[in-house]
């Protein structure tokens, strides 16, 4: 905060701290404006996509709003942390975050003393993470943000409630799933089983699978596929090469949370031929969807992972010391605004410098903004130096591959 106060005219550290922590400005109208700007800049109903993901922020003590012992993906274990659920937008390599929600565990919802101390509004009720994710998707839908599909990682993708919620709204999803999720190749017969003779008690009322085999785990199904079922598919461009993968796409009936078969959908098995990494995904895309389109959707998850790297490494997503509800939402909103500004700057400068990255845009702004005056020649020189280093690295990489 002190560093920014030196560069921003007519302000000091105290005023900046107040602006984030206690100032009464509403964060939702700013988020709505960010979404409108993203739609205008990169919105595309065919190539654009929404992505649900979460970010964990380790914390000491129990006074930071929402902080509680819970699974922390950042540390890979249960730890005291805050969890934010985020919505990102991507189109090709362009990406940014456009919405956020703070997850409050049940213990926080019931603790009136801590709620009051951290300024949690009275109307906030407990919602699961998948419900927070749906709130943001539904909000984006109401704001008419154009997108072709919704992506999610396995934490949300294995949740049949969220997948079905998206499907009932006529939206397309592609969801990472764990390797032990069960599927059927043919729909088994379901129904309420009759009560067994000689057994006392109530008649069964719960629907179950009554005929057919048990579901097969997707990791076991992979080994049963013939060579003809695998296709070499282009996934996306990278900074060094084109990324291709071996993909198999099957129509299956996934096992739902209640153990019953869900609606028929795509199972996508993607294998990286170099590192042998295998990814499993489900999608409710139409049955006549081509494998190239499924490959495009499958590869889009990479960009939301890069978005969080941008947010934490460049825009300060995890760099805050705030305890209250208002301060958390203000910080996240300003981070999303900074990410939008970097995206727009990258697009503007990238028209004349195609290798420009978000990191480049940030470094250029760090040089430009503290100065009262800077010439176009100085900006061009900065870009040329970065291009020269990146081109040299690319050539060196190609020589090593040969």
pLDDT digits (tens, 9 = 90+) for 245-287: 999 999 999 999 888 999 999 999 999 877 788 999 999 999 9
Closest by alpha carbon to 99, among 333, 283, 374? Answer: 333
pLDDT, averaged across the chain: 86
How many whole angstroms from its chain centre is CA 107? 26
In a domain, 274, yes or no: yes
Tell me how many domains the chain contains.
Answer: 1
Q: Does the residue 395 lie in any domain?
A: no
Q: Is residue 10 part of a domain?
A: no
* Residue 304 in domain: yes
Could you report the per-residue pLDDT of 7-57, keeping only the tens digit for each?
A: 566 666 777 777 888 889 999 999 999 999 999 999 999 999 999 999 999
Q: Tell me the C-alpha distance between 362 and 341, whole Å.
A: 10
Would the pLDDT of 2 be above 50? no
Query: Helix crossing, 160-168 with 129-142: angle to 10°?
Result: 20
Give the contacts of 305 (CB within 8 A, at least 6 positions apart): 53
Contact 68, 79 (CB under 8 A): no
Q: How confident is the model at residue 132 (pLDDT cuts 50, 70, 90)?
A: very high
Cβ(269)–Cβ(283) below 8 Å? no
| 345 or 394, higher pLDDT | 345
Q: Give, as one character, the DSSP assignment of residue 354.
A: T
Do the domain assignments include residue 205? no
The pLDDT value recorded for residue 364 is 64
User: Residue 217 domain-assigned?
Assistant: yes
pLDDT per residue as tens digits for the range 285-336 = 999 999 999 999 999 988 888 899 888 888 889 888 889 999 999 999 999 9
Contacts of residue 396, defined as CB under 8 A and 6 or more positions apart, other chains included, come to: none
Residue 361 lies in a domain: no
Domain of residue 329 covers: 16-191+211-347
Q: Is residue 359 part of a domain?
A: no
CATH number of the domain to which 264 belongs: 3.90.350.10
Q: Is the pLDDT of residue 389 over 90?
A: no
Structure tokens at 9: 């005219």
Residue 75 pLDDT grade (very low, low, confident, very high; cuts 50, 70, 90) = confident
């Amino acid at each position: 905060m002190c560093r920014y106060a030196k560069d921003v005219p007519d302000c000091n550290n105290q005023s900046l701290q107040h602006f984030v922590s206690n100032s009464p400005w509403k964060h939702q109208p700013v988020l709505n404006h960010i979404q409108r700007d993203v739609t205008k800049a990169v919105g595309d109903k065919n190539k654009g996509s929404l992505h649900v993901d979460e970010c964990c922020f380790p914390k000491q003590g129990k006074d930071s709003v929402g902080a509680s012992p819970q699974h922390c993906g950042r540390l890979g274990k249960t730890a005291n942390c805050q969890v934010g659920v985020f919505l990102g937008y991507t189109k090709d390599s362009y990406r940014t975050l456009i919405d956020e929600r703070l997850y409050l565990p049940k213990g926080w919802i019931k603790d009136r003393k801590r709620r009051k101390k951290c300024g949690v509004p009275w109307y906030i009720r407990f919602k699961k993470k998948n419900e927070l994710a749906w709130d943001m998707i539904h909000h984006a839908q109401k704001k008419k943000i154009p997108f072709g599909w919704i992506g999610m990682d396995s934490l949300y993708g294995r949740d049949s409630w969220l997948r079905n919620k998206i499907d009932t709204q006529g939206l397309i999803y592609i969801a990472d799933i764990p390797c032990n999720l069960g599927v059927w190749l043919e729909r088994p017969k379901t129904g309420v089983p009759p009560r067994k003779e000689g057994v006392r008690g109530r008649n069964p009322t719960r629907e179950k699978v009554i005929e057919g085999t048990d579901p097969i785990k997707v990791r076991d199904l992979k080994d049963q596929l013939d060579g003809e079922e695998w296709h070499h598919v282009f996934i996306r461009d990278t900074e060094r090469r084109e990324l291709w993968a071996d993909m198999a796409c099957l129509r299956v009936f996934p096992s739902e949370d209640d153990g019953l078969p869900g609606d028929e959908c795509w199972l996508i098995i993607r294998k990286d031929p170099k590192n042998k990494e295998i990814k499993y995904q489900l999608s409710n895309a139409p049955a006549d969807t081509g494998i190239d389109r499924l490959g495009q959707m499958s590869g889009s998850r990479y960009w939301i992972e890069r978005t969080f790297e941008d947010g934490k490494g460049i825009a300060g997503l995890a760099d805050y010391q705030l305890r209250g509800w208002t301060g958390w939402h203000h910080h996240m909103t300003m981070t999303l605004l900074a990410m939008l500004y970097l995206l727009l700057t990258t697009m503007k400068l990238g028209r004349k410098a195609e290798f420009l990255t978000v990191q480049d845009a940030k470094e250029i702004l760090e040089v430009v903004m503290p100065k009262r005056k800077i010439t176009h020649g100085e900006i061009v020189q900065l870009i040329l130096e970065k291009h020269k280093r990146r081109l040299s690295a690319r050539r060196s990489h190609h020589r090593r591959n040969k």
